[in-house]
Structure 1
């Protein structure tokens, strides 16, 4: 029971979540908000069948909640509960400031099968990034250990055997370049560590343009005509269908800020992507 204007009334329904500071009760979304969330999610679907969805997640929208984050994909999926009360489930995550393909399972069975595909590396992911300079060699493999910085929300290259250090492998290829000033990279992460691509590219001296956490080139002048936003796109996802009926192969378009940059440098987004068949280890 609760007090309303000094009177006893029925208890308000809440969802209770455990937080670092104790228990946090959240009121369920209003019908208007759920309607808005459903409309928004429907507007960003790249692929859907009865088992899965692939969303085109926009830059700046978190996949899950956290400290001070109240609007996120996981919460918005409440608006898609089916008649049996099943809510679509996240299968993997991408960073808040990364745009592109996000796979959602529409049932427990699909979620279980798809998660297994990610664990066994049957899922192939391709990312596009814009970086300063031209990596040498033009196609290569980055293999390091990564660990979380103690005082910051970022990852650092670590030594094998350090506490919490995890092995991370990324393949990269230069798709196109603007003289020696800028490169469009295609990236294939073999492992899926936090901030892996961002930390790896900073490690080889070519941090992603617009990256507020990892861009570490001093006195670098931001080119005119570009927006200071993270230039990283989860471009393509290829994964076996959870029912064993072929594969899901979905590509996301460039988000507006990256499309603008591609136009500035004359890059053709329809070019062949060389990285998909890179080795798995």
Structure 2
């Protein structure tokens, strides 16, 4: 578990300091997982702090800016399960100031309590390290006043859920505290209907099924998620899928989320053996089916160029209106980039099967 206070320091800020001369401010507090393998603390922190080099981490350790269970340690210290690691620096954590930006939003429904928008691929939902501007939140604070906040008052006005930067599709935004509370409860109780369309590599053996497996941070690479089928790590996750169009080398799949874990569809489909087409994080950005040579290679590379992201779209969204208790259901078309590549694969599949 990593707590990043207002997104913490950049990696280059983790240099040696003298804790005896300056007041220190805690920037990171990391609690090692119960199943944490023994690992050197410098490597442990490099895996968890963006853009932090091992040298700068070691310098911070040498000056006792890094502590484990409130005690200074050496760089050779081996992290154990449930160790509490803190990183302190001589300046306060960055305060996140939300900059209102006149960014157009594709709003498909709005009333006094909420709005539903169709987020384009490539747009980050909320400000974070390396993405302080140009986000959905920057647009929201420009277009709307007094939006409620979530996450214990963190500056994420209106947000009750999010979708990945390079995933397109529908999101619901709360415009009142009442709506925020009610919608958050629906997400917690898994009564929200969320349907995604994904283009995946290969054709699943079963035309429909349920993928069940805890999802949590990978023990090998903390920047990505992994499936833990034995439940030893992560959180319970369930994805229902149905193959809509088997296209020999790829398939269009409908996925319904029963739970909503980080990267759930992406990592569950990888676990099933069918990574999302174009998903660089989970291995889908290379040719995984077919002979990677000649005209077929050129065809796939052209598809990658037309769709330079994971082929995932939040197509429909359904929930109970917080105030009227009416069931609301929304649907959206596939975006142009995903639709274009899907049409190309449909034609290619017809060609090789004729």
- TM value normalised by structure 1: 0.78
Q: For residue 259 of structure 1, what is the aligned residue in structure 2?
A: 339
Mapped to 2, the partners of 1:101 and 1:93 lie a distance apart of 10
Matches of residues 87-98 of structure 1 in structure 2 within 5 Å? 89-98=158-167
Structure 1 segments of 4 or more deviating over 3 A?
25-29, 85-88, 216-222
Q: For residue 132 of structure 1, what is the aligned residue in structure 2?
A: 201
Distance 1:28 1:92, change over 3 A: closer
How many residue pairs match? The answer is 239
Contact 1:46 1:252 in 2 (8 A): no
Deviation per residue, 1:135-189 (Å, 9 max, x gap): 01110010111220253421012254534x21111010001122x2221000011
Contact 1:225 1:264 in 2 (8 A): no
Matches of residues 1-12 of structure 1 in structure 2 within 5 Å? none
Mapped to 1, the partners of 2:339 and 2:112 lie a distance apart of 32
- Pick the structure with more helix per residue: 2
Distance 1:216 1:224, change over 3 A: closer
Mapped to 2, the partners of 1:28 and 1:188 lie a distance apart of 33
Distance 1:19 1:255, change over 3 A: same
**Which of these residues, 160, 178, 185, is aligned with residue 109 of structure 1?**
178
Aligned: 1:18 with 2:6: yes
Where relative contact order (Cα < 8 A, 6+ residues apart) is larger, the structure is: 1
Contact 1:229 1:257 in 2 (8 A): no
Distance 1:154 1:89, change over 3 A: same
Distance 1:24 1:244, change over 3 A: same
Distance apart, 1:197 and its partner CA = 0.4
Mapped to 1, the partners of 2:98 and 2:269 lie a distance apart of 41
Distance 1:245 1:166, change over 3 A: closer
Q: For residue 26 of structure 2, what is the aligned residue in structure 1?
A: none
Q: For residue 61 of structure 1, what is the aligned residue in structure 2?
A: 123
Distance 1:47 1:217, change over 3 A: closer
Q: For residue 235 of structure 2, what is the aligned residue in structure 1?
A: 166
Mapped to 2, the partners of 1:49 and 1:100 lie a distance apart of 19
- Secondary structure of 1:264's aligned partner: helix
Mapped to 1, the partners of 2:273 and 2:7 lie a distance apart of 38
Can you give the 5+ residue segments of structure 2 that lack an aligned partner in the other structure? 10-91, 149-156, 348-354
Can you give the 5+ residue segments of structure 1 that lack an aligned partner in the other structure? 1-16, 268-281
Structure with greater Cα Rg: 2
- Pick the structure with more strand per residue: 1
